[in-house]
Chains A and B, each alone.
Chain A
């Protein structure tokens, strides 16, 4: 294949026999400048890399190492091999905590995404720029509050006997609802509180994504006679599907690590109804002093989260539309 056919641009054509132009003469000191620039780049990310290494990678590797030992914090660790991992698959309460976590996480993600999208579409369609800013701030505010503080406060609100919610329900003639004292009630209440606090994040993402949908596409669909619902499901949602995927992945990762709300509000109860995988980890490690086994649970949880995230990305190949 000749140069002329492979490089169509006329200016780059080189006639046969023509002397190849010499490479540009390098400016003296250019290599040094490039090196300096390279070093500057590394220096810029060095702090982040150090932070991630010290506070993320090393603890993960240390946990991985520890998961092969028996360690009660006090005595020297002893080699356990795969015993901690084998134990996991026969440990009913811990397996149950993974089940509880998965069910609650699915509920949280489904509610968080659908409610976030619903609110974002509503705000995007019906409000002015001021309104959008107002609602964006209003829905995002709960996310800024301390999770622990919110959990304590909600614990009082949802108290079966002395909580404000049952008080007002009582004024309407309703009997006390066991929000946190029945297994199903506690699970639902915690899911609702997590969704209330987290929905602002997905809401803000969706509002931004909806604003970025090209107006010419929307105008074209309108001219073609598409109604609001058809526009939403056929135009807007496909166009913002990468954002939905991102929100779903982040929400699921967070939900699988659910700890604060059930730990503070129900201590994992009643019974083990809200004992999530992370609470199991905490109890195994910090209360029962089985840090090796606790680390094995942590590593398995990490793998579960990675697997679910992988499945989400695989599913996205068919469901997510990239422009």
Chain B
């Protein structure tokens, strides 16, 4: 018997219908994707403020639970949702934040570091806080501004407007393993030490032999060979400042306060200077250190490997900020086994720093509530909830105490804050991401070829192209 069996719908019909469906879905999907690029006020219609947090979800949840009672004090109907974004550095964090924004999930509050500030401002993602600060100036002046180093505030300004309330920073200081230096017979670096003294210390450590190396560093913008570049009185980009900012400096600080002398409306990054003589000399210096066997080939990005090597006594000196105090303590180093000194002076004593704080998204529907929460988060008593265990450096002078560093070390903790005087934030223009990519590529290229000049000429060309298009 011939079997009458066949699909109720022909294959061609099915394919045709499937094709129509696919095309419609694709168009809808594209439409949704393209319309989703406009920032929307996510998470703001149910009395919940959303904050993006740089870290893992466990820590974010702990932070959320710790902050919730304080948020309830502001408004009993308000709650805070802290969403974690994992990343190995701020660059990674920023890329993920932008992806989240692309998916239409813009938060109300976001942690922003120097790296991402001008990019976010350039894209009009975060809102100026001038009116909020002015409104609450009388309380903020005594409770916040008088306690925060003005270098951090200025680093968070663009074109005369304040976009972020910083509460932490990390300046590039020089950490050293006390045991290694002692074994090498090298004296502990003293305040005001020079590059010659740094080199002499490295030479002494190199004589120890074995698997101990004098120095190590990480390829990145913060605290990399760039620290040598700053000390050599150079920068990757021409330094300048925006005008304006008087509305803040004249009201938030006492007239005649020396720390605000020369402060203006934020750092304005000009033409690229990546292949300047200072830059070539600085990069060639670290390459030569490696050629001489004084340092290993550096990692790119995060400093996890470096921390492991340093804490296990295989590296004598490295560049670190206050966050290393907590990091090394957590890695098992005892107080006293490591110390810190300001970065050595070369042609200048200029050093670099990066700062972090909180901004409000332009798209937030609850800006007023977000501002109240930010004020709570930058209070002195909230700092240790936000950053337990010295995992960063507090921006508040009142919190920089011996007690804070009693359990982790170092003893010379004053260096962190003192180094802010005369320091310059890492050069992070609106095209920071492209700059970071080029910096990583050209630095590793220079290390493998041994030729700093050629690599930095290429970097200069990269930056000129991207600066032109930005």
- Residues on A close to B: CB < 8 A? 23-24, 26, 30-31, 34-35, 37-39, 41-42, 49, 53-54, 57-58, 61-62, 65-66, 69, 71-77, 156, 159-162, 178, 180-183, 266-273, 275, 283, 286-289, 291
Contacts and interface: CB of A to CB of B under 8 A. Distances in A.
30 contacts: A31-B4, A38-B7, A39-B8, A53-B25, A54-B25, A57-B22, A61-B23, A62-B30, A62-B33, A65-B26, A65-B30, A73-B98, A76-B38, A77-B37, A159-B297, A162-B314, A178-B448, A182-B448, A266-B300, A269-B444, A270-B445, A271-B444, A275-B441, A283-B437, A286-B98, A288-B433, A288-B434, A288-B437, A288-B466, A289-B433
B388 interface: no
Contacts of A160: 296-297
B468 to A, nearest CB: 14
Nearest to B446: A271
Interface in B1-23: 1-2, 4-9, 14, 18, 21-23
B158 to A, nearest CB: 16
Given A38-B6, A58-B26, A74-B39, A270 B448 contact: yes
A72 B433 CA distance: 12
B119 to A, nearest CB: 8
A61 B437 contact: no
A39 B6 CA distance: 11
A74 B448 contact: no
B364 to A, nearest CB: 15
B26 A74 contact: no
B457 to A, nearest CB: 13
Interface in B286-317: 296-297, 300-301, 305, 309, 314
B123 A24 contact: no
Contacts of A34: 4-6, 8
A182 to B, nearest CB: 5
Contacts of B23: 61
Contacts of B399: none
Find the residue from A74, A76, A181, A275 having the highest chain B CB count within 10 A. A74
A79 B14 CA distance: 34
Find the residue from A41, A75, A287 having the highest chain B CB count within 10 A. A287
A196 B8 CA distance: 49
A165 to B, nearest CB: 14
A216 B213 CA distance: 66
A257 B262 CA distance: 52
Interface string B413-440: 0000000000000000000011011001
A62 B34 CA distance: 9
B435 to A, nearest CB: 10
B444 A162 contact: no
Given A71-B37, A73-B102, A38 B9 contact: yes
A49 B455 CA distance: 49
Contact of B37 (A38, A53, A74): A74
B185 interface: no
Nearest to A58: B29
Interface string B99-143: 101100000000000000000000111000000000000000000
Given A73-B102, A181-B297, A66 B123 contact: no
A268 B26 contact: no
Q: Which 7 A-B residue pairings sit nearest by Cβ, starting from the closest?
A: A271-B445, A269-B444, A161-B296, A270-B448, A61-B26, A24-B1, A270-B444
A101 to B, nearest CB: 16
A269 B440 contact: yes
A23 B1 CA distance: 8
Contact of B300 (A57, A58, A178, A269): A269
B95 interface: yes
Nearest to B448: A270
B211 interface: yes
Contacts of B14: 42
Contacts of A30: 4
A73 B101 contact: yes
A17 B420 CA distance: 110
Find the residue from B8, B101, B211 having the highest chain A CB count within 10 A. B8
A181 B448 contact: yes
A62 B296 contact: no
Contacts of B444: 181, 266-267, 269-271
Contacts of A74: 37, 39, 98, 101-102, 123-125
A71 B34 CA distance: 9
Given A34-B8, A269-B441, A162 B309 contact: yes
A75 B123 CA distance: 7
B100 to A, nearest CB: 10
B380 to A, nearest CB: 34
B433 A272 contact: no
B442 interface: yes
A102 to B, nearest CB: 20
B447 interface: yes
Given A66-B33, A74-B101, A178 B297 contact: yes
A39 B125 CA distance: 50
B98 A268 contact: no
Contacts of B7: 38, 41-42
A162 B309 CA distance: 9
A57 B18 CA distance: 12
Given A38-B6, A269-B444, 5 more contacts: A61-B23, A76-B37, A156-B305, A269-B441, A273-B448
Interface in B231-264: none
A178 B447 CA distance: 11
Interface in B361-411: none
